[in-house]
Structure formats: C-alpha cells, structure tokens
C-alpha cells in the first residue's frame, strides 16, 4: 500500500494535519527527524492509524508514496526547511512535489521554489492558519507555486480545509511566494485586529474600572453584531477565565509583555518596502514591542505615568461608541492589509485573487469573521478595487463609525490613554481624506537642502525656488 501524500514534521501542526488528512480518507506517510515521534503519533491515532504509514528514514519516502509524490514539510520555519530539502531531494524523482506548509518568509519561498525547480522537482509554499485546532479540524490554506503542482494536491488541501457555509477555505493564490505572502499579511491584520480589541479592553478596564467578567459580557454582546469573529469570541473567553490559584481573573496574573514570532513584523517590512501605508499594522507590531520593554516602561511611568481620571460609568451610549470605534478600526486595518496585497500582487506579478483571499479567511483562520464576507463582496463587485474604503457598502459603514471613532480616539489622547492602532488607523483615513496635503512644504524643504526640485500646480516641468 502506498500513501497519497507524506507529511514530514510530527510536532503539533504536522501531526494534526496528517490526522486531518487520514480522517478525510487519505493515506499518509509520516516522518519526523526524531523518529520515536512517528511511533508515538501512530500509537495515539486510534482508528486513523490504519491510514498512517510510518517512515523512519527520509530515503524510504520514495517507496512509500504514490508518484508524483506530494511531500508536505511542516518543520520549524527557517534552516530546517532547507536542510530537509537538501536531504530529501536526492531520493526523489522528477516531478515530485515538495510543499513547505510552515510559516516561511515569502522571500525564502521564492528562493526555494527556484532552487527546487532547478533540481527537476516542484515546490509549493502554502500558508496554513488556524493553529493546532485548525490543523486538526480545518485550517484556512493559502497556496503558492506552479499551478500544475497545486492542482495535483488541491483535492487533499480542499478536503482538509475549513468550510464557510459549505465553501472550502483553501485556494490557489499565485506563483512562488504568493501563498506565504498572503499568510504573512493575514498575520499582520491579525496583529492589528488583536491590538485594537486590546485597546478597547483597556478603556473599559482602566478607564471605566469594569471587571474582566463584565467586559467579557460586552464582547459577548458584540459577538452577535458586525464584530462577530473568532478573535472577539476568544477575547470574551479570555476575560471570563479565573485563575485556579488566586481565584481572581486569569488576565490579571498574566505578565503584560507580548511575544511575537515575526510574521507581523514581516508584514510591516513588506508594506514599507512597497511604499504602501500599513500604519495600523505597524502600530500593532510596535505595541507588542513597547509592551516587552518592561524595565524602560517602569522608568517612564515614574516620570510621565499620571493616572488619568476615571471615565465614569460605561453607559450603553459609551459602549456603542466603542463598538463603532472598533468596527472603524477593523475596516481601516483591513483596508491597509488588502492594499499591501494589491501592491505586492502588481510588484511580483502574482495576480492575487483578492475576493478569494477574503473568502478563504472567513473560516479556519485566526481572523475568521463574517466581516470578511463584506470584503469578498466588495472585490466581487469591483475586481480592481483600489481600496475597500471606496466600496459603497464598506465606505458607508466607515462613515457611520467615523464620528464615534474620532470621539473615542480624541478623548483618549486628551486623557493620556494609549490607543496606538486605532489612532494610526484614524490618522491614515484623515491623511487620505485631505484635498491638499502639507507635502508642498516638504517639497520646498527638500528643494532648499537638497535641490530636489518640485512640480508646480499651474504648469508642467520641474522647478527650483529662489530660496
């Protein structure tokens, strides 16, 4: 019996993907560098073990998988992927397909795709989102690479992916690094979405003095409105949890210093490189960075950390404003994320299917939400939409949220409360909405110190001032 596909890397993600595939009826050869893991997985797989074929040495994979062999690597991102490719490639036949399903930087994927193709093999870089639960029961899958290679494994990916109202959340994004790029921007948007939620939590918690459980109630209510999403749902769950040791809210015993693995930062770097504003995403990455500067924060608190006055009761009207501020912030974060995708698509000639991107994010992944339906609809209406802010439906929603967002951000600034991502999103909109920017002055300054020249409003050409 030969396997339909192989999975290399039996840590939490690879193991769960392999079990997911077995559950959908595929036979899967499994391998892990530390070989004992393979037997552990089979021992714990229950009835699914029937569809798992243990592989104890990479050179055996060739005999264990049906050609053209799809081999999915789910190993630690970085050099482990290159090492696996180098060890495995000599034991494969032309046309076999190596798939990197880890969180690769798309630039590495572009490089690996070229290299693997030069060896006569095929290479796919696929972004998998949804954490371990997603991997086991249905992730969102963003694939990049040669179309023929994708078509060969599409049935497996489609079968294991999440479903949104019956539609699989798996799709072909484009050549080489397209899939990993889309996954990177997914994570950038995830950072912004999470940060904005945390900012509103901060107002309710420290501005109004609401207990975490009461804030959980607020988020739970929002779950049945436009904000309905996985992140809002887990926010309510996180705030409701109590600590077994202290009996108090669990959030209160968690150190306020956020970690990051790099994909949010990659989003920011790529946006800057492309010259596309992604200020809300950048602010969210920075907010994690600032949270990690605990020693410095302690010193700055001593000098500038005056406790603002209480915001009083969180009335229904106040909470309604917070909901609108969060919806507005969300629209702006997605507007930035999709603008980065749009620009990257043109730059790398990927022809990214943006409606499809929004559709496959509706279930399975961390930013899954009903809101993405609106974005998919916007790109369905206008495939070459410049920004979702110009879609009639989304721009109406943004306009409706704008007064509340201004009020919330403005008052917070006056009180000295930080709303970095919401403020950055709002400033982005305000900056885009200027009929005349102040870049006239910038151009004048540049001409004075660097003779860079400027264009005139009244005639064509390049000019210098007689400064």
Residues 156 and 80: beta-carbon distance below 8 Å = no
CB of 106 to ligand NDP, least distance (A): 13
**Residue 129 in marked binding region:** yes
Tokens of 357: 């991107």
Nearer to ligand NDP, 76 or 137 (CB): 76
**Residue 13 in marked binding region:** yes
Q: What is the DSSP string of 22-58?
A: HHTT--EEEE-SSTHHHHHHHHHSGGGGGGEEE--SG
Contact pattern for ligand NDP over residues 119 through 148, marking x by CB under 6 A: ---------x--xx----------------
CA dist 364 → 7, 64, 138, 139 (Å) = 20, 30, 6, 4
**Residue 33 in marked binding region:** yes
Question: For the chain, what is the radius of gyration of the CA atoms?
Answer: 25
**Residue 143 in marked binding region:** no
Binding window for ligand NDP (CB under 6 A); candidates: 6-14, 281-289, 327-335, 437-445: 6-14
CB of 210 to ligand NDP, least distance (A): 31
**How many amino acids of this chain bind ligand NDP (CB under 6 A)?**
22
Q: Catalytic annotation on 324?
A: no
**Residue appearing with tokens 């804030």:** 215
CB of 35 to ligand NDP, least distance (A): 8
Residue nearest to ligand NDP (CB): 102
Looking at 50, 63, 83, 151, which residue binds ligand NDP (CB under 6 A)?
83
**Residue 27 in marked binding region:** no
Residues 6+ apart with CB under 8 A from 273: none
CB of 191 to ligand NDP, least distance (A): 14
CB of 84 to ligand NDP, least distance (A): 5
Of the residues 190, 199, 270, 323, which is catalytic?
A: 190
- Which residues in 229-258 contact ligand NDP (CB under 6 A)? none
Nearer to ligand NDP, 75 or 182 (CB): 75
**Residue 12 in marked binding region:** yes
Q: Catalytic annotation on 183?
A: yes
Nearer to ligand NDP, 195 or 263 (CB): 263
User: How many other CB atoms are there within 10 angstroms of residue 191's CB atom?
Assistant: 29
- Which residues in 101-120 contact ligand NDP (CB under 6 A)? 102-103
Cα(417)–Cα(251) distance, integer angstroms = 20
Residue 37 in the binding site for ligand NDP (CB under 6 A): yes
Per DSSP, the three-state class of 5 is strand
Looking at 4, 19, 31, 84, which residue binds ligand NDP (CB under 6 A)?
84
Binding window for ligand NDP (CB under 6 A); candidates: 77-85, 195-203, 328-336, 344-352: 77-85
CB of 119 to ligand NDP, least distance (A): 18
**Residue 187 in marked binding region:** yes
Q: ω into residue 445 within 30 of 0, thus cis?
A: no
**Residue 77 in marked binding region:** yes
Residue 33 in the binding site for ligand NDP (CB under 6 A): yes
**Residue 20 in marked binding region:** no
Looking at 3, 7, 13, 55, which residue binds ligand NDP (CB under 6 A)?
13
Residue 85 in the binding site for ligand NDP (CB under 6 A): no
Residue 10 in the binding site for ligand NDP (CB under 6 A): yes
Of the residues 24, 83, 148, 183, which is catalytic?
A: 183
Residues 6+ apart with CB under 8 A from 182: 127, 142, 144, 173, 341, 352, 357
* Residues tagged in the binding site annotation: 9-14, 32-34, 75-77, 103, 129-131, 186-187, 191, 261, 288, 446, 452
Give the residue numbers marked as catalytic.
Answer: 183, 190
* Residues tagged in the binding site annotation for substrate: 103, 129-131, 186-187, 191, 261, 288, 446, 452
Residue ranges binding ligand NDP (CB under 6 A): 9-14, 32-34, 37, 74-77, 80, 83-84, 102-103, 128, 131-132
């Amino acid at each position: 019996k030969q396997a339909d596909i192989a999975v290399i890397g039996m840590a939490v993600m690879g193991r769960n993907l392999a079990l997911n595939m077995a559950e959908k009826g595929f036979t899967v050869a499994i391998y892990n560098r530390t070989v004992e893991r393979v037997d552990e997985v089979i021992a714990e797989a229950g009835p699914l073990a029937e569809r798992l074929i243990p592989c104890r040495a990479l050179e055996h994979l060739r005999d264990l998988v049906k050609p053209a062999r799809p081999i999915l690597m789910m190993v630690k991102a970085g050099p482990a992927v290159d090492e696996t490719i180098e060890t495995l490639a000599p034991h494969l036949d032309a046309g076999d397909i190596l798939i990197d399903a880890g969180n690769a930087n798309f630039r590495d994927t572009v490089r690996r795709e070229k290299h693997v193709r030069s060896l006569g093999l095929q290479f796919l870089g696929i972004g998998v989102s949804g954490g371990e639960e997603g991997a086991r029961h249905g992730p969102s899958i963003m694939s990049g690479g040669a179309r023929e290679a994708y078509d060969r494994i599409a049935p497996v990916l489609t079968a294991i992916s999440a479903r949104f109202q019956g539609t699989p959340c798996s799709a072909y994004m484009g050549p080489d690094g397209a899939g990993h790029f889309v996954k990177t921007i997914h994570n950038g948007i995830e950072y912004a979405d999470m940060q904005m939620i945390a900012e509103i939590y901060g107002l309710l918690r420290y501005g109004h003095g609401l207990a975490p459980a009461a804030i959980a109630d607020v988020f739970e209510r929002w779950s049945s409105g436009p904000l309905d999403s996985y992140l809002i749902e887990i926010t309510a769950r996180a705030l409701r949890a109590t600590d077994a040791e202290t009996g108090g809210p669990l959030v209160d015993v968690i150190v306020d210093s956020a970690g990051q693995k790099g994909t949010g930062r990659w989003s920011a770097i790529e946006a800057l490189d492309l010259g596309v504003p992604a200020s809300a995403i950048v602010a969210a990455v920075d907010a994690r960075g600032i949270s990690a500067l605990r020693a410095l924060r302690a010193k700055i608190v001593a000098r500038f950390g005056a406790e603002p006055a209480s915001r009083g009761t969180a009335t229904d009207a106040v909470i309604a404003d917070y909901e609108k501020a969060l919806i507005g912030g969300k629209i702006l974060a997605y507007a930035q994320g999709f603008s980065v995708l749009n620009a990257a698509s043109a730059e790398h000639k990927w022809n990214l299917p943006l409606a499809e991107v929004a559709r496959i994010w509706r279930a399975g992944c961390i930013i899954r939400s009903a809101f993405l339906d609106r974005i998919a609809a916007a790109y369905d209406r206008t495939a070459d939409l410049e920004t979702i802010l110009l879609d009639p439906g989304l721009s109406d929603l943004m306009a409706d949220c704008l007064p509340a967002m201004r009020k919330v951000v403005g008052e917070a600034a006056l009180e000295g409360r930080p709303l970095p991502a919401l403020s950055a999103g709002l400033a982005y909109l305000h900056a885009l909405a200027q009929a005349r920017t102040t870049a006239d002055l910038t151009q004048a300054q540049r001409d004075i110190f660097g003779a860079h020249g400027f264009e005139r409003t009244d005639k064509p050409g390049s000019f210098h001032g007689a400064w």
